[in-house]
Amino acid sequence: MSNKIKKIGVLTSGGDAPGMNAAIRSVVRTCAYHKIECVGIYRGYEGLMEGDFKQMNARSVKDIINKGGTILKSARSKEFRTVEGRKLAYKHLKDNNIDALVLIGGDGTFTGGMIFNKEFDFPVIGIPGTIDNDIYGTSSTLGFDTALNTVVEAIDKIRDTASSHNRLFFVEVMGRDAGHIALNVGVGAGAEEILIPEEDLGLDRLVESLRRSRKSGKTSSIVIVAEGDKIGKSVFELKDYVDEHMENYDVRVSVLGHMQRGGAPSCFDRVLASRMGVKAVESLMEGKTNYMVGLLNNEIELTPLEKAIKGKSKINLELLRVSEIMAT
């Protein structure tokens, strides 16, 4: 392995996700293992431009593997999108003798890193941290598994009240423009219908499906709605539409919101973060740059950042079919 890299910076950017702390811990400890210095950069690219750095060692990251959020804080930065902002960031990196960066975040984080690499030839490696699982080049992003468990637990509780009162619940889940959370929790929580951006069900078919459910003897229903669903209506407008077109249904809406991003990471996310952190640091040591580490066929692989940003994560068609069969 090359000895060229003597100091690595690590930051978290964009929306927080459970498992980010476990990834920070892994990066810091892998650096310590290889006797490379490690610097924590606070508040993402914002802190990078302000020089908000802190030297970290193996002991700095004790007792964080089980914590949600990110100890390095996160921020969305407008200034980093400007050439001046990036020049300032580069100056701080050079002044602090930092040779490479590990970026933990989503596609916005990776876009910033890729542009930064292009302009200053500065080595960067990305670790995908987002609950949405909407990044190409990995079957699972950090936080996705934890979010699924959080949402299924919440829906189980909603089901208790739905069945007690013979109610129809529309439950909105996160996921941005991807339906991965909705599809998985829909199957896992036994939802009657799942509305996702990738499959436009249409309002009439939704009402038809709910009527069939009622005829088959179902007295309560749960419909999972992905926040980016293209049916053309907000979850509250959906409720009004169903109220209007279906009698004898007591319809309620539950928007789960930011609770989906919090909580202690699952064992799966902790292990995945640990594997990704090791791969990120060792890839930089080998002279690799402009890649994202990801999980493909249970192996940790590298995908060029450009592909990770521009590629589209695909919905699991087999799971889609399973959801249709299970709604019988």
182-201: per-residue pLDDT in tens?
999 999 999 988 988 888 76
Q: What is the mean pLDDT of residues 157-163?
A: 89
Q: Which two tokens stand for residue 223?
A: 């419909």
201-221: per-residue pLDDT in tens?
677 778 888 888 777 777 678
Q: Which residues belong to CATH 3.40.50.460 in the chain?
A: 145-261
63-94: per-residue pLDDT in tens?
999 999 999 999 888 899 999 999 999 999 99
pLDDT in the model for residue 144 = 97
Least confident of 123-132, 226-235, 270-279, 288-297: 226-235
What is the separation of C-alpha 106 from the centre of its chain, rounded to a whole number of angstroms?
7
Report DSSP state, residue 142. Answer: B
Q: Which residue has the tokens 């990776």?
A: 110
Query: Which pTM value belongs to this model?
Result: 0.93
Q: Assign residue 309 a region: left if phi > 0, alpha if psi is -120 to 50, beta otherwise?
A: alpha
Side-chain-side CA neighbours of 43 within 13 Å: the count stands at: 13
Least confident of 70-79, 173-182, 218-227: 218-227
Q: What is the mean pLDDT of residues 256-264?
A: 93
Which comes out higher in pLDDT, residue 136 or 2?
136
Q: What is the mean pLDDT of residues 299-326?
A: 92
* Residues contacting 79, CB < 8 A, separation 6+: 45, 46, 49, 85
pLDDT in the model for residue 232 = 60
Q: Which residues belong to CATH 3.40.50.450 in the chain?
A: 7-143+265-310
In degrees, rounded to 5, the angle at the alpha carbon of residue 11 between the alpha carbons of residues 104 and 139 is 5
| H/E element, 124 | strand 124-128
Residue 328 pLDDT greater than 70, yes or no: yes
pLDDT in the model for residue 230 = 62
> Going by CATH, does the domain composed of 145-261 fall within 3.40.50.460?
yes
Q: Which residues are catalytic?
A: 132
User: Coil, strand, or helix at residue 236?
Assistant: helix
pLDDT in the model for residue 76 = 84
Q: Could you say which of 3.60.15.10, 3.40.1480.10, 3.30.830.10, 3.40.50.450 is the CATH number of the domain covering 7-143+265-310? A: 3.40.50.450
CB 305 within 8 A of CB 125: no
Which comes out higher in pLDDT, residue 58 or 192?
58
Least confident of 6-15, 45-54, 192-201: 192-201
What is the overall mean pLDDT for the chain? 92
